[in-house]
Amino acid sequence: MNEKKKILIVEDESGIAQIIAVNLMLAGYDYEIASDGEEGLNKALTGAFDLILLDLMLPKMSGFEVCARVRKKLATPIIMVTAREEEKDKILGLDTGADDYVTKPFSLNELLSRIKANIRRSANELVNPEAEDAGEEKVIKIRGLSIDTEKYDVTIDGTQLSLSRQEYDLLIFLAKNLGKPYTREELMGSVWGYEGYLGDIRAVDVTVSRLRAKLEKDPSNPEYLLTKRGIGYYLK
Ligand code: CA
């Protein structure tokens, strides 16, 4: 029997926090609630949580700041919760360090499936380095692009790239399947870890454009990360 996963709910609206808490409990999770940004940060930094559900608009310290400060110390998966679609569009354009985003009002099924996927993904990352020792190439080279899968190091023409986790995960997935185009839905499944989830797939396009901005000499005319019209994306 696995130990229960523990979720930190950082949410100032107690009604919403309670609804989430009850549903987490029913789904077999442990939880703690923090009702402002400061309390959220302090609890998060104890490192006692498998995932953090972080409201954006909070008293004392915003979700952005909490996220940035947690990221400096911990790799705990963070799902950012925004009040409106417009807020979500804005933060999708920023590199906040969050792993995922949901918009209020969200369905509890969507939230639970995202929690599950993000915890599974972070658990996979912990076991992956050993799996890769079992004979897989540790350094993938594609012309000027070099990906060291052991050191999580990516360079382009000798210059090191600073990639977010999603950008890295997407790049490595496409690099291991060189030349094969994938749909956004397939990438949501294989890279983001969502199973049968057909909700918001904009995260794929946003991550692709961020990755192109770092990877390509001319992001509007990419040489590596290409669009397959009518299908999706592939690495060449
Ligand atoms: Ca709030």
Model confidence pTM above 0.85: no
What's the 224 CA to ligand 1 centre distance in angstroms?
A: 40
What's the 57 CA to ligand 1 centre distance in angstroms?
A: 4
What's the 88 CA to ligand 1 centre distance in angstroms?
A: 14
CA distance 52 to 35: 13
In this predicted model, what pLDDT tens digit does every residue of 208-219 receive, in sequence order?
A: 999 999 999 999
What's the 28 CA to ligand 1 centre distance in angstroms?
A: 25
In this predicted model, what pLDDT tens digit does every residue of 194-210 receive, in sequence order?
A: 766 556 678 888 889 99
In this predicted model, what pLDDT tens digit does every residue of 51-99 receive, in sequence order?
A: 999 999 999 999 989 998 998 888 899 999 988 877 777 777 667 778 8
What's the 94 CA to ligand 1 centre distance in angstroms?
A: 19
What's the 30 CA to ligand 1 centre distance in angstroms?
A: 22
What's the 213 CA to ligand 1 centre distance in angstroms?
A: 32
CA distance 183 to 73: 34
What's the 62 CA to ligand 1 centre distance in angstroms?
A: 9
**Which pLDDT belongs to residue 41?**
97
What's the 56 CA to ligand 1 centre distance in angstroms?
A: 6
Q: Does residue 138 have a pLDDT over 70?
A: yes
In this predicted model, what pLDDT tens digit does every residue of 37-52 receive, in sequence order?
A: 999 999 999 989 999 9
What's the 171 CA to ligand 1 centre distance in angstroms?
A: 34
What's the 40 CA to ligand 1 centre distance in angstroms?
A: 12
What's the 104 CA to ligand 1 centre distance in angstroms?
A: 10
